[in-house]
Amino acid sequence: MVLLDSPMNLSLSELQSFLREALNNPEISVQGDEADKNNFIILWGKMAFALMHIDSPIPSETFDIALRTSFGLQNGEQLVKAHKAHLIISPINAAGHQLAAIYNALGVMTLADLIREKINVLAHFWSASEILMDADQFKQALAGAESAFSKYRRKEANAWYDLPVQRWVGMRMISPDRQTQFGARTQGLAALTGFEIQIDPFPSSPQEVAKHLYGMASYALNHGPVFKDGDTIGISAEQQFRISRRADNTPVLWVMVIESTCH
């Protein structure tokens, strides 16, 4: 979702002309009712997106988790209070595989970025991960996504490691004692891969767990659904994670449990 400081006032034909010029693509089509400035369907190559303009702010409680977990965000409460309207941009077609999901996510970010040329954008809320980004953070995330896409098109190895995983994927800490035992679970990874990842609590720090969890998420985005029941991933000479699939969870959950490699 895109938080605006005032309502958007673009007709269908104006939006279509703008997108065709901005993307240098005369084939882009915007469908809807010329008199309706709130609902549009954008056809962009093989992708299709719904763009909905809502002339009111998003309820503040929507951001309760985001304001606690969006790292590096300094003025989140002010941005939430300041916005007067918002846009919802979403893919129309469900992604049948991980690559299509990544393309859809990049398409959403690109459209959201272009809109700022027509109206003042205050912030961006990635609803799958419940991450709120200010304008600068969003630009950095988009730059990472565009870099990954460029590397992928050049067929470079490990191209998707540049994706903005810490924006597309949120993290929920798990700690039984809030002192020495920490674990975490991804939030929003399933929108891209079809599964979430959890690290069960073990003696560690929140920083160490975050490093491992985002490392696993990046690996999954770069290599696809390659985890197998019983796989192990070494994290040091003495420790490894053993992976198990929790199939009764929706979406599917891959759980990492720490174990010693010393026998």
Place of tokens 């988790």: 65
Q: Are residues 157 and 195 in the same domain?
A: no
Reduce the secondary structure of 47-114 to three states and give it as a string.
EEEEEEEECCCCCHHHHHHHHHHCCCCCCHHHHHHHCCEEEEEEECCCCCCHHHHHHHHHHHHHHHHH
**Three-class SS of residue 170?**
strand
> Which DSSP state fits 262?
-
Cβ–Cβ < 8 Å for 42, 30: yes
- The two tokens of residue 176 are 């039984």
Q: Dump pLDDT digits (tens) for 58-115.
A: 999 999 999 999 989 999 999 999 999 999 999 998 878 899 999 999 999 999 999 9
Residue 152: per-residue pLDDT:
94
Band of the pLDDT at 256, cuts 50, 70, 90?
A: confident
Please check the confidence at residue 165 and state whether its pLDDT lies above 70. yes
Residue 17: per-residue pLDDT:
94
Domain count, the chain: 2
Continuous segment of H or E residues that includes residue 41 = strand 39-44
Residue 178: per-residue pLDDT:
83
Q: Are residues 140 and 223 in the same domain?
A: no
Q: Are residues 12 and 96 in the same domain?
A: yes
Q: Are residues 123 and 11 in the same domain?
A: yes
Rounded to 5 degrees, what are φ and ψ at 17?
Answer: -60, -40
pLDDT above 70: percentage of residues in the chain = 98
Where among 162, 192, 221 does a domain terminate? 162
Cα dist from 103 to 45, 50, 59, 100, 197, whole Å = 12, 15, 29, 5, 21
pLDDT above 90: percentage of residues in the chain = 69
Please check the confidence at residue 263 and state whether its pLDDT lies above 70. no
Please check the confidence at residue 261 and state whether its pLDDT lies above 70. no
Reported pTM:
0.91
Q: Are residues 138 and 174 in the same domain?
A: no
Buried b / exposed e along 12-22 (16+ C-beta atoms within 10 A): beebbebbeeb
Q: Dump pLDDT digits (tens) for 168-189.
A: 999 999 998 888 899 999 999 9
Q: Are residues 18 and 123 in the same domain?
A: yes
Provide the domain limits for residue 20.
2-162
Place of tokens 């093989």: 46
Residue 262: per-residue pLDDT:
62
Q: Are residues 144 and 175 in the same domain?
A: no
Q: Are residues 123 and 186 in the same domain?
A: no
Q: Are residues 178 and 124 in the same domain?
A: no
Q: Are residues 150 and 239 in the same domain?
A: no
Q: Are residues 150 and 176 in the same domain?
A: no
Residue 96: per-residue pLDDT:
82
Q: ∠ CA 101-103-109 to the nearest 5 degrees?
A: 105
Where among 145, 162, 179 does a domain terminate? 162
Place of tokens 């809030």: 178
Gap between the terminal Cα atoms of the chain: 51
Report the C-alpha gap between 196 and 217 in whole angstroms: 9
Where among 144, 162, 180 does a domain terminate? 162
